[in-house]
Amino acid sequence: MYPNNSSQKSCIFMGNLSLGTLFFLRLENAFLLAEKGSFIEVISCFGNLENDLKMWCAFKGEAFIHKVAIAKNSNKDNFLYLLQKQSPKRFQKFDANSHIAPFGHGLAPNGVLVESASPHYPFTYMNDNELYNGNFTQIYEDSKKSQWNASNDIKWKDIPSFSPAMEFAIAQIMTYLTENEFSALYIPARFLGQISPFFTTAPLLLSSIIGDEARHIEAFIKRANVTGLGVQYSTIATQQSLFSLFKETNYFKSSFLLHIMGEGTFIDLLKFLEESFEGLGDSASAELFYLARRDESRHVAYGMNNVKHTIAENPAKIATLKEVVFERKNYLNAQSGESSLLLESLALLRGGGEEFISRGYEEVLELKKKMEKNRTKRLVECGIDEELAYDLSRAHTPNFM
Ligand SMILES: [Fe+2]
Ligand SMILES: [Fe+2]
């Protein structure tokens, strides 16, 4: 009758707590967490609880075993009421290493015990094949160490003023960057709510990416404002390119387009801008691009690991990527070409003024070649063969993201 194994037994010391809400709340909780068949000792100063406890047990489907007087405490006896849990356990333990998120896991973190009949959330991503998490923790840790504040960490007051043509070019580039950053913010944000928190590090990492993008948006708008012009023109070329990215509803494809093709290319662009501002003697802006690039490198590393792992597990996935790149290319070919405003602004900035715009334009063309080459390199690193990587890279949007 009585367990030999002490793990099958728990004890609640009620002392002089009289029968009432708190007494029954504690009793309920003891039964809630106990295993079926385990014993629960209720220790009380009162010797007259037997009938009430018997009624409670009968009502709850539990068993009252016996009552005994135990050791003297001052001048009073203590009483031990022995009860046994007969109802099934209501908390379910899941395998924390499972590749599939359990239904009814809700918004709880990995490792919890979930009460049965908890609501089922309609998460789309319930399988870690779709969210390889090999490097989530490391990137999340790197992200925490590399946070910066767009208000205080950029020497805004040291930014020099330039000719009206140069100020416009800078404001236009910042406008373009801000739009692209919004795309990099909205896409992971949309997927975030579709991922089960059973894969706890995934939503944390996506949140850190979203936080980074918010900071980039803030910083680029601030830099546009320093020109005295504020944000300028949003072109159809950028709008269509970002829309074709935004409307992709599959996480794997979207992550590939955004983190590898888009942000990978952006790393080269941010480096180009960093050098250009350095060339203009504006080291405060150069620092801004360095910090933004450091954040983007983490996003690209996350995406590359994700895609690399998925391709290694299932090489047939390469066909999916090929399909999505060419679908997007066909869509964009029919819609729009390059953003001429962006290209002229980049050429003027890089040249260092209108008189050197031709030289600047040559360097923009060099940048595009470098972007294409680096994209190919990243694709090869993900496990795509060189020839296809080259074709995919060439088919990437002229908007860069
Ligand atoms: Fe960004
Ligand atoms: Fe990013």
pLDDT value at 306 more than 50: yes
CA of 315 to the centre of ligand 1 (A): 29
Per-residue confidence (pLDDT) for residue 34, from 0 to 100 = 94
Per-residue confidence (pLDDT) for residue 334, from 0 to 100 = 82
How confident is residue 6, by pLDDT bands cut at 50, 70 and 90?
A: very low
**Mean pLDDT on 219-228:** 98
CA of 216 to the centre of ligand 1 (A): 5
**Mean pLDDT on 25-33:** 96
**Over the chain, what is the mean pLDDT?**
93
CA of 184 to the centre of ligand 2 (A): 6
pLDDT value at 213 more than 70: yes
Beta carbons within 10 angstroms of residue 10's beta carbon: 16
CA of 220 to the centre of ligand 1 (A): 10
**Mean pLDDT on 44-63:** 97
Ligand nearest to the CA of 301: 2
How confident is residue 75, by pLDDT bands cut at 50, 70 and 90?
A: low
Phi, psi of 72 (to 5 degrees): -65, 140
Cβ 363 vs Cβ 295: under 8 Å = no
CA of 201 to the centre of ligand 1 (A): 20
CA of 310 to the centre of ligand 2 (A): 20
CA of 53 to the centre of ligand 2 (A): 61
What is the pTM assigned to this prediction? Answer: 0.90
Per-residue confidence (pLDDT) for residue 7, from 0 to 100 = 55
CA of 178 to the centre of ligand 2 (A): 12
Distance, C-alpha 175 to centroid of its chain: 25
The Cα diameter of the chain in Å comes to: 102
* Structure confidence by residue, pLDDT tens digits, 84-124: 999 999 999 999 999 999 988 999 999 999 999 899 999 99
**Mean pLDDT on 31-50:** 95
List domains and CATH numbers for the chain. 9-84 (3.30.110.40), 93-122 (no CATH), 128-395 (1.10.620.20)
Ligand nearest to the CA of 181: 1
Per-residue confidence (pLDDT) for residue 8, from 0 to 100 = 84
CA of 372 to the centre of ligand 1 (A): 20
How confident is residue 194, by pLDDT bands cut at 50, 70 and 90?
A: very high
pLDDT value at 31 more than 80: yes
How confident is residue 241, by pLDDT bands cut at 50, 70 and 90?
A: very high
CA of 209 to the centre of ligand 2 (A): 6
CA of 355 to the centre of ligand 2 (A): 34
Ligand nearest to the CA of 214: 1
How confident is residue 63, by pLDDT bands cut at 50, 70 and 90?
A: very high
CA of 212 to the centre of ligand 1 (A): 6
The partner residues of 93 in beta bridges, in order of sequence, read 113
CA of 176 to the centre of ligand 2 (A): 15
How confident is residue 4, by pLDDT bands cut at 50, 70 and 90?
A: very low
CA of 190 to the centre of ligand 2 (A): 14
Q: Which of 73, 19, 71, 9 is nearest to 50 (CA)?
A: 19
**Mean pLDDT on 359-387:** 96
CA of 283 to the centre of ligand 2 (A): 22
Per-residue confidence (pLDDT) for residue 338, from 0 to 100 = 85
Per-residue confidence (pLDDT) for residue 134, from 0 to 100 = 75
Ligand nearest to the CA of 177: 1
For residue 118, the 8-state DSSP code is P
CA of 181 to the centre of ligand 1 (A): 5
CA of 273 to the centre of ligand 2 (A): 16
How confident is residue 172, by pLDDT bands cut at 50, 70 and 90?
A: very high
Enter the tokens of residue 145. 């160490």
Q: Which residue has the tokens 């609640």?
A: 12
CA of 295 to the centre of ligand 2 (A): 7
CA of 379 to the centre of ligand 2 (A): 18
For 325-360, give one letter per residue: b (16+ CB within 10 A) or e: beebbebbeeebebbebbbbbbbbbbbbeeeebeeb
Ligand nearest to the CA of 298: 2
Cα gap 374→360, rounded to integer Å = 21
Beta carbons within 10 angstroms of residue 213's beta carbon: 24
Q: Which residue has the tokens 């009502």?
A: 59
How confident is residue 73, by pLDDT bands cut at 50, 70 and 90?
A: low
pLDDT value at 59 more than 80: yes
pLDDT value at 176 more than 90: yes
CA of 184 to the centre of ligand 1 (A): 6
CA of 322 to the centre of ligand 1 (A): 25
* Structure confidence by residue, pLDDT tens digits, 124-153: 988 877 777 678 899 999 999 999 999 999
**Mean pLDDT on 265-269:** 98
How confident is residue 2, by pLDDT bands cut at 50, 70 and 90?
A: low
